[in-house]
Amino acid sequence: MPYAAGHRTEVRRRIIDSARRLFNRHGFESVSITRIMAGAGLTHGGFYSYFEGKGGLYAEVLNCFFTDPEWEHCWEGVEVDLSKGDVGPQIVRAYLSRQHFEDVENSCPMVALPTDVSRSGEAARRAFETVFRAMVSVLERSTKSNGLPRRTTAQAMAAVCIGGMIVARTVVDRRVADELRDACTTVALRLGGWNKERRVGNGKSRRSRKRPVEPKKV
């Protein structure tokens, strides 16, 4: 009985999702093809009908929501709408959010895998560069003028977001990690010219406003 239309696409997506979760959690070298296929509910033997090897799969895993609209980028309580004019501050807050920090398996792979990428072949490094360039392009769209070229500002913001999350994930003290994420968020927003906005409980932002002073009781 032939498979239904779209079967190969669905199986390929399951393999990529399994690899992304495992790579993010354990690193590239520590995860076997057998383990990846088991995580997708499949057997080892079917892997090579979809990918030439683990290196080819690795490049696919490096996709992120900047390049793949089907990537599950909405961490709980965080929304990013790439069609909005204020996408820049959305990206900064989402990337450095508590939700992204805690959801290791669903991380943007630029946070979890840069060391592995630097030791990998050209295909993986080019894939990483493609995602980074896409992030810069998205940030550049809504960056405000600060005396520097907009692209230069966007590149710096992207590096602050990615590097800040990498270091935050590395330190042991959670308070230090949270302070670092907050500091990087403040700096990145200021670079983009969005420092007048502040974050509220659900990850969205609004203009800062003073709370009205209640009259004293007599």
Clarify whether residues 25 and 126 are in a common domain: no
- Are 144 and 97 members of one domain? yes
Same domain, 151 and 116: yes
Q: Is residue 191 part of a domain?
A: yes
DSSP annotation of 197: E
- The pLDDT-based confidence of 4 (bands split at 50, 70, 90) is low
Q: In CATH, what number is assigned to the domain containing residue 166?
A: 1.10.357.10
Cβ burial, residue 162 (10 Å; 0-12/13-18/19+):
buried
Domain presence at residue 211 = no
Is residue 212 domain-resident?
Answer: no
Does one domain contain both 128 and 194? yes
Amino acid 69: pLDDT: 67
- Lowest mean pLDDT, pick from 8-12, 54-58, 152-156: 54-58
* In a shared domain, residues 33 and 100: no
Residue 26: how many other CB atoms lie within 10 Å: 13
Element (H, E) at 205: strand 205-207
Nearest to 178 by CA among 96, 103, 79: 96
Domain count across the chain = 2
DSSP string, 27-46: -STT--HHHHHHHTT--GGG
In a domain, 199, yes or no: yes
**What pLDDT does 164 receive?**
97
Q: What is the pLDDT of residue 74?
A: 62
Model pLDDT for residues 145-189, shown as the tens digit of each residue: 888 899 999 999 999 999 999 999 999 999 999 999 999 999 999
Structural domain containing residue 56: 7-61
Are 34 and 116 in the same domain? no
100 in a structural domain: yes
d(CA 205, CA 116): 35
Residue 19 lies in a domain: yes
Both 120 and 21 in a single domain?
Answer: no
Is 111 within a domain?
yes
Span 68-78, pLDDT tens digits: 766 655 677 78
In a domain, 79, yes or no: no
Same domain, 100 and 185: yes
CATH (domain of 17): 1.10.10.60
